[in-house]
Amino acid sequence: MRIRPLEKDDRDTIESLLTKCGGFTPQEVSCAIELVDFALENIEQDEYLFLCATDDNGGLLGYANYGPAALSDGVFELYWIAVKREMQRNGVGSALIKRVESEVKNLNGRKILVETSSQDKYRLTRNFYLKNGYVEAGRIGDFYSIGDDKIIYEKNLV
């Protein structure tokens, strides 16, 4: 497996991956692709950073999108991380998140935040963050909808 920056040819594959990997609504896929498009159209920007995991033949296995949290000193946010359905639970996501952490440290980052839903369909996602050393830092009740809390995880890198 190789981890590399986002390339123009990744856009449609990322959209397909998000649609097929399970768990993302059409609105979430649309939001994620807007960020991909923004990054590809504004290559000098540093708000939305991307890493892509590929197989030995260059096929996309997963991707992560992260960036600095506005108005913070050394805090970054992990906006999206997704892995091809058939490659989930094979270490691709963990490799991506570890590389994100390394890149954030290189950018003088000290903490990463990530947020997700309390819905049961995100249970494996929440377990993934816990397995990778993230801890629940906060919860906002009924955020996404009634009965669907926003859960915020954090990992200190220093």
Q: Give residue-wise pLDDT tens across range 29-73.
A: 999 999 999 999 999 999 999 999 999 999 999 999 999 999 999
Q: Where are the domains of the chain?
A: 2-156
- Tell me the percentage of the chain whose pLDDT exceeds 70: 100
Q: Which CATH number fits domain 2-156: 3.30.450.20, 3.40.50.300, 3.20.20.140, 3.40.630.30?
A: 3.40.630.30
Spatial contact of 111 and 152, defined as CB atoms under 8 Å apart: no
- Average pLDDT along the chain: 96
The pair of three-digit structure tokens given for residue 73, joined into one six-digit string: 């000193």
Residue 132 above 80 pLDDT? Answer: yes
For residue 124, give every residue at least 6 positions away whose Cβ sits within 8 Å of its Cβ, in sequence order, or none: none
Q: At what angle do helices 10-20 and 26-41 cross, to 10 degrees?
A: 160
- CA gap 75, 79 in Å, rounded: 13
